[in-house]
Structure 1
Amino acid sequence: MKIVFIVQYHFFGGTFFRWHNLAIALQQQGHTVMVFSATGNPKAKLEKTIIDGIPYHIVPGNHGSRFFGNAASNPITAIQRLWIHYPKADVYHLFQPFLSGAWAWQLLKWKYPSAKFVYDWDDLWIGGLMQKKRSKVWDFRMVKKLEQNLPRKAHAVTVCSRFLQAIAIERGAKKVEVLHNGIWPATSVMPVIKSREILGLDTTAFYIGFMGKTQQEIDWCFEVLQRCEREDLRLALCGTDTTCMEGLSSDCLAKIDYLGQLTPEQSFHFAHAIDIGLLPLSDNPFNQSRFPIKFAEYQKAGTPVAFSEVGELSAYHQIFTWNINCGVGRETFVNRLTAYLNQKHTPPQVSKEVLMDNLSWERIGKQLATLYQEITQPI
């Protein structure tokens, strides 16, 4: 099959890791995938590039995004993307509810009526990530309208959670497939002490670690660090900004290793270097809607996860038995993890075989290809 992905931005973060790895998995099966994207940089030039074997067509951004809320909601960029030549394909797959890609996706429905159109929804924006009082009026209204209407306009919808699956069905989706975020197998893993040396971490400490930009619950990690009695405990952080540590005591700061922004290779070293990965989640619609990529990334490096039993993660409680179930809510998470750490347990071994059987991009890519075949060649 020939497949076109239409995505709203071009930077190596967030949903990029979802569409890019799905594209790789599809291409490995012999399908042809092209990604059409846009930058937020008005000084950029039209660019065609290859990333990990995937062709990318990247449109420059436009001035005025600050008036519209963000670059992906800029109507000038959205109009500009209407004039791009999109090749004829079997499937056009739109990722996320933003104007930048949605207008082009809808135009292509008119241009290529025999093709099939799929919408990927991997975060709840209205009522989740995006709050009305903190958003520009244009941005909020456009995302709200698209998030409400896109499910019924697609031949199929892909989501990362059963929570979004239920909402998509309520909004008129004809067919919905749950695709979790996965991992590729680690090609080689060096000793933990070597990964720590590369990152400048203490080679003798017991590390809990937090990586990622979504830091609403990072205070839970600081509370664990402050309440735990073991003297060798340290907290490693990456992906966050330094504002998250404002107001912490000097004693607490002395136990934190802040590594800032890391490359994908360095992030793997980070996940491998720590003893336990942290994934605290408040029980709210946003966290119920998503499937955190770092849940699998920690385990890919052989590191068990201390997680909140919220949303999709609850489905893996009895499958990934090596992880540490810290229940629901801040108090339960802090109490359970603190007690576990104080007992100085040796973290359990991650079963790579069980992990890959459930969360390999190869398997998820085959699941997506099967969905495409079902809608393009209905029985």
Structure 2
Amino acid sequence: MLHVFLTNQRAELIERCRAKVAKRASPEATADEMDHGVPFFLDQLIKTLKVEQTDKPMESRKVSGASGGGKPALSELSEVAAQHGRELLRRGFTVEQVVHDYGDLCQSITDLAFEVDEPVEVDEFRTLNRCLDNAIAMAVTEFNYQRDFVMADKHIQTLNVQIGFFTHELRNLLNTATLALFAIKDGNLSLSGATGSVLNRSLVGMGSLIDRSLTDVRLIAGLPVRNALFALSDFIGEIKLSAALEAKVKECVLTVSAVDLRLALDADRDLLLSAVGNLLQNAFKFTHRGTEVILNAYSVGDRILIDVEDHGDGLPPGEAETMFEPFTQGGKDKSGMGLGLSIARRGVEANDGILSVRNKPDEQGCVFTIDLPRHAMPLN
């Protein structure tokens, strides 16, 4: 009888499964993966086969569940399989490993039975398949349920952090603007004075923060890119108008090169405006006071390049690989949310472009470059 064979060969079957696990996973993972699946399943399978040899064979369904697919019914085996799925997820395994565990046992049973010439009745083999089917279904179901729960929890935590950063930054800017406005009103001060500059700086900061956040929401939501053909010179001119105000607030010089009137972009203008705007904000943030921030747009072959160059301290070794990650802030100035460069890269990539950064040779500062497909304005 199969249950006698399984009982006598229990240790050998577990060892064979352990060897199979070791071949596809690290040796350290073998014990963790094995201790929460195969031994317990074997015990439930043996118990099921024993019950089916009694005068009440249908009682075995309480142990291992019924056949026929669909939603797995509660049973002793399903509870063990669900525990196995939970444990493997908690220990960092994949759903493939959950399925492989039970497949390993099935193969080990059939191989060993063949080697020792152990006959397996048709009904016994059907019971084995039913138990495997139910165990895999419940383990995978529980694994996916727990994984979805964990992912949702991580998403909520990330969202809470993001909202927290946004509200904290917005509150600080609003508070500064409010205090500056009260000071101007109470002291009958001029808007062109130092206090007026504080108010202006706070309002510009709030506008930039809101624009950045709206772009981020649009990218995360996966809204379709709204492509349109537009002149590169008009695009750079629009950016120059808004950036000039921020350059004045930051007490630095903005230099914008002349742009070939024939060059054009076929892209989502709003996403690119946000991307270049974020790069300029980053440049104004880190360039030394009184130095120059340069915006240069030109063509090389079939590409259009937009450079944003600052005169700051440059990039420390290795920072170029991490600075585009969300909530990453380099340099001494830790103001802001650390999202601008991440949003800029996603906006550029959504338009089939590439965003890169490099240190300037023999100079302080760095250059961010947006690389986009080149187009031309139609002839009149």
TM-score range, shorter-chain basis? under 0.3
- Higher strand proportion (structure 1 or 2): 1
Using structure 2 for the length normalisation, give the TM-score.
0.22
Q: TM (normalized to structure 1)? A: 0.22
**Relative contact order (C-alpha < 8 Å, sep 6+): which is higher?**
1
Rg comparison, structure with higher value: 2
